[in-house]
Amino acid sequence: MVDNTSQNTSDALNVAVTGAAGQIAYSLLFRLAAGEISPGRKVNLRLIEIEPAKRAAEGVTMELKDAAFPLLGDVTVHTDAREGFQDADVVFLVGAKPRQKGQERADLLAANGAIFGPQGEALGEVAPNARVLVVGNPANTNAAILAAHAKGIAPNRITAMMRLDHNRALSQAADRLDVPVSALSGMVVWGNHSASQFPDATALRAAGEPVFEKLGTEWISEEFIPRVAKRGAEIIEVRGHSSAASAASAAIDHMRDWLLGTEGDEWVSVALPSDGSYGVPEGLVFGFPCRSVNGEWEIVQGLELGEEQKQRIARTQQELEEELAAVREAGFID
């Protein structure tokens, strides 16, 4: 269900995308223009880039026009984020450096952390009702920086992307069980979008039937969890660049479900500022099982967690606490 509380009074959906000339945006923008998060609704695109990449973003605009998407409205290019965010209903914060081979995502904090404070302030001022997805890495802590600066934006409107991890986990489990991904429900990826994440198949079902035993505890701990958690690095190793089309696809899945609702009782993985659920301290942007109800993310409550799950959740929580302490130390958050 699309909400009608946005500041945008036209029927069109205003979508702002930073990093618009980058590799993720090169897939994301075309899927947005095709109406994938807003079927039947006109889409205005605001492409935000830094000055050196402005001309390349103009080239992307030319291609968007050349594709003659029936739902595409205005496309504009901005180097001033505040101008690009004006009246945005939906914001994808993709603009940030990707990591290189051998780096961890947290190694990007010094370079990318500085981007998200000013963008948070700008969003709070010109688009307080926007739904925001942080994709740029390290996504969770960048989103925590953003949330600390985005006065006036409800905490559950600021999210970081766990959906790529969620989709990767579904795909690995579907292959193991030899079932289509569409048969699976109950997956969750807890914590940080990093190697410490906890892809949790404990509640996984295939066509409604529990499959944890069938997957096997050895396969889960020796293959599934490390494979999903380190998939980003594996893609960089094999493709030579970090994931792009699959990241864009996950961003589309995240925003479509947010706007239109998740299916029935099913949940997906979303990182958002903790409200204390499952004992996770407030202020950490943490991957939780979430449902989208009436256009808002709600953390699924009441999942019973065993000792091993609690330990794995504590591990990823600790890493996020360390990242948050580091960005405080660096002055990105007061």
Name which of ligand LMR, ligand NAD, none residue 166 binds, using a CB cut-off of 5 to 8 Å depending on partner kind. none
Non-local (6+) Cβ contacts of 258 within 8 A are 131, 159, 292, 295, 297
Residue with smaller CB distance to ligand NAD, 139 or 215? 139
Residue 98 interacting with ligand NAD (CB under 6 A): yes
Residues of the binding site: 19-25, 99, 105, 112, 119, 135-137, 168
Please report which helix (H) or strand (E) contains residue 133, including its range: strand 131-134
189 forms part of the interface with ligand NAD (CB under 6 A): no
**Of the ranges 1-9, 53-61, 98-106, 250-258, which one interacts with ligand LMR (CB under 6 A)?**
98-106
> Does residue 143 touch ligand LMR according to CB under 6 A?
no
170 binds ligand NAD (CB under 6 A): no
CA dist list (Å): 78 to 19, 29, 149, 218: 11, 15, 21, 50
**Of 149, 193, 241, 254, catalytic:** 193
Q: Does 243 bind ligand LMR (CB under 6 A)?
A: yes
The structure tokens 């998407």 sit at 69
What is the spatial distance between Cα 328 and Cα 109, in angstroms, rounded to a whole number?
Answer: 11
Integer Cα distance of 331 and 334 in angstroms: 6
Query: Both tokens of residue 107?
Result: 């190694």
153 near ligand NAD, rule: CB under 6 A: no
Nearer to ligand LMR, 72 or 170 (CB): 170
Residue 227: count of CB within 10 angstroms of its CB = 15
Q: For ligand LMR, which residue of 6, 61, 88, 99 counts as binding (CB under 6 A)?
A: 99
Size of the site for ligand LMR (CB under 6 A): 10
What is the Cα–Cα distance from 256 to 3, expressed in whole angstroms? Answer: 13
Number of Cβ within 10 Å of residue 55's Cβ equals: 11
**How many residues interact with ligand NAD (rule CB under 6 A)?**
28
Residue 52 CB partners (closer than 8 Å, separation 6+): none
Q: Which residues carry a binding-site annotation for substrate? A: 99, 105, 137, 168
**Residue range at the interface with ligand NAD (CB under 6 A); choices 13-21, 283-291, 297-305, 313-321:** 13-21
169 binds ligand LMR (CB under 6 A): no
Q: Give the residue closest to ligand LMR by C-beta.
A: 232
Scan for tokens 């961003």, then name that residue: 251
Q: How many C-beta atoms lie closer than 10 Å to residue 310's C-beta?
A: 12
In terms of phi and psi (left: phi > 0; alpha: psi -120 to 50; beta: otherwise), the region of 283 is: left
Member of 22, 95, 232, 273 binding ligand LMR (CB under 6 A): 232
User: Is 193 an annotated catalytic residue?
Assistant: yes
Give the span between the Cα atoms of 89 and 212, in whole angstroms: 39
CB of 255 to ligand LMR, least distance (A): 17
- Which of ligand LMR, ligand NAD, none sits in contact with 235, Cβ below 5 to 8 A by type? ligand LMR
Sequence-ordered list of residues with C-beta below 8 angstroms from that of 312, at least 6 positions apart, any chain: 190, 198, 200, 225
Residues 113-142 that bind ligand NAD (CB under 6 A): 115, 135-137, 139
Angle between helices 139-149 and 109-126 (to 10 degrees): 40
Q: Does 298 bind ligand NAD (CB under 6 A)?
A: no
Q: Which residues are catalytic?
A: 193
Residues in the site for ligand LMR, rule: CB under 6 A?
98-99, 105, 137, 164, 232-233, 235, 242-243
Q: Which residues bind ligand NAD (CB under 6 A)?
A: 18-19, 21-24, 48-50, 53, 94-99, 115, 135-137, 139, 161, 164, 193, 242-244, 247
